[in-house]
Amino acid sequence: MADAPSGSSAPSAPSDFIRRIIADDLRTGKHDHILTRFPPEPNGYLHIGHAKSICLNFGSSLEVGGVCNLRFDDTNPEKEEQEYIDSITRDVRWLGFDWADRLFFASDYFEKVYECAEELIRKGLAYVDSLSAEEMREYRGTLTQPGRESPDRHRPVEENLRLFREMRAGVHPEGKYVLRAKIDMAAPNINLRDPVLYRVKFATHHHVGDAWCLYPMYDFTHPISDALEGITHSVCTLEFEDHRPLYDWVVDHLDLGCKPRQIEFSRLSLEYTVMSKRKLNLLVKEGLVSGWDDPRLPTLAGMRRRGYPPEAIREFCARIGVSKADNRVEVGQLESCVREALDASSPRAMAVLRPLKVVIETLPEGHLDRLTLGNHPKRPELGQRSVPLTRDLFIEADDFAEISPKGFKRLVPDGEVRLRGGYVIRCREVVKNEAGEVVELRCTHDPATLGADPVGRKVRGVIHWVSADRSLPASIRLYDRLFLRPDPEEEGQDFLTMLNPASLETVTGRVEPSLADAPPEARFQFERVGYFCVDQDSRPGALVFNRTVTLRDSWAGGN
């Protein structure tokens, strides 16, 4: 796993019921080593909820000297794509974890899974069924009523084997037959009422091509894959708790040489976003966001593009912990981890998002001071940079007010402020256009205040600035929360009606020239403004920055 950045605090030491189970299994000798796995289905991009699972599966094993496999559970060829596989491997590595040579696909085991199905048929524990999907739902019963046996449930073993082999050979069309486990149609757990194990699909698979037209179900393939890999602890989210009896039934009735233990934990729900792959895919397909890596999405690709450092996501996962209880986590907790990591690691720079021109009339035309400013107030090893100060500057428009509100410590008519790292200036004249808008400030400067406080008077505050002549134009994307409500999936609401129309604002700002060659994903604190990173669209002469997070939580207090 990647090391914590220099200057950041040590990551929180996680402790939870799953880690305690693992520790007990090692202490009692049940296992002499630990092997876990992270098993994503390649039908979408990973999100922050997957990050919790990644950190748990890799972390809980690595912490006790074990290992963790990466396995793609690719049993649904119609929804799985190579794009998703590439994005998942990229995201897991970016998050700081490595599976070495232990990259597997469930489809690698298709032949063995098929053999297991035939073994169940020969044992009288599986049968080929001709009920339609609608009939099967009707026969399955309800939570309060037992199901009914299919007319095909007592089909002879040899006939089941013949039909199953014909299904593999492509003799029968999709939907005519399925293979079902023969368990208990009166079981209180509906998952045990003769679940489907195999179905026919004439679809090209991303990994095995057209080698198969018979595909196993996830609930059948997953326990077999775990057992074949020697997984000791199969960690998954709570929606699989009701599937655990089926997981155990499959392992118990097949001779696979290993019996993994399935353990469930609660999924991550995060305020102001959605985690459902289906809903995220809808946002992407409908063009409501720019893609799976849109910085407003909770995908790891989006968070990376927004500028979230991986160590912040790992720290967040450690802080929220692992439990059986469902809860919705405040997004402020994640943003706090991001701010802490970025404050420790990000070089400082000056940028003006909404420029207002300032002319220092007491400096001559063509004047140039080259100021040397440190890149980080607490990390001298990050070096220094040269910042040009000229007669014409830009400051933030909201750093000036004609009528000073209470507590305003910036520039006002006839008031003084210090330019960050530069002189103290006084506003002498306010220039307006025909519409009455302030377009320029004419100021004087105190030459004795470069690097020194003025004598005999107190300056209102410090503001940032850039040279008008030597700064660089930049497209700056100001991202906010994607939804207006903490729970956009609240019962009875269409989550699309909860979209925040102000979740993205793009402004043309100015940045200091030291950022001219900053590469994509480089992160900075724009002083007094927030944390920003260079977007992948950025080019020399056409800079693009994404706001990662503000300097403080602007939504605090329920705004």
Helix (H/G/I), strand (E/B), else coil: 432: strand
Contact in structure between 348 and 375 (CB atoms under 8 Å) = yes
Do the domain assignments include residue 197? yes
Residues in Cβ contact with 118 at an 8 Å cutoff, skipping those fewer than 6 apart: 161, 164
* CATH number of the domain encompassing residue 199: 3.90.800.10
Token pair for 474: 């930049």
Integer Cα distance of 348 and 370 in angstroms: 17
Is residue 381 one of the residues assigned to a domain? yes
Structure tokens at 315: 């720290």
Q: Which residues are registered as beta bridge partners of 441? A: 358, 430
> Burial of 190 by CB count in 10 Å (0-12 exposed, 13-18 middle, 19+ buried)?
middle
pLDDT at 12: 62
Residue stretches of the chain with pLDDT short of 50: 1-9, 557-559
Backbone angles phi, psi at 16, to 5 degrees: -155, 175
Q: Which structure tokens are listed for 542? A: 């056409």
CATH code of residue 408: 2.40.240.10
Domain, as residue range, for 170: 110-216
The answer to whether the beta carbons of residues 149 and 185 sit under 8 Å apart is yes
According to the model, what pLDDT value does residue 8 have?
41
End residue of a domain, out of 193, 216, 239 = 216
* 244-252 helix and 218-229 helix, angle to the nearest 10 degrees: 60
Residue 419 domain-assigned? yes
Residues with active-site annotation: 41, 267, 277
Residue 351 exposed, middle or buried by CB count within 10 Å (0-12, 13-18, 19+): buried
Q: Give percent above pLDDT 90 in the chain.
A: 91
Q: Is residue 159 part of a domain?
A: yes
Final residue in a domain of this structure, among 445, 471, 497? 471
Q: CA 351, CA 320: separation in Å to the nearest integer?
A: 34
Please say whether the beta carbons of 40 and 72 come within 8 A: yes
Q: How far apart are CA 6 and CA 376, in angstroms?
A: 12
> 224 lies in a domain?
no
SS3 284: helix
Contact 47, 313 (CB under 8 A): no
User: In whole angstroms, what is the distance from residue 28 CA to residue 71 CA?
Assistant: 29
**Distance in angstroms (rounded) separating the CA atoms of residues 221 and 82:** 20
Q: Is residue 544 part of a domain?
A: no
Q: What is the pLDDT of residue 4?
A: 39
Sign of torsion over alpha carbons 76, 82, 87, 90? positive
**Distance from C-alpha of 104 to C-alpha of 106, rounded to nearest angstrom:** 7
The predicted pLDDT at position 9 comes to 45
Within-domain flag for 195: yes
- What is the number of domains present in the chain? 2
In a domain, 409, yes or no: yes
User: Where a domain ends, among 216, 234, 265?
Assistant: 216
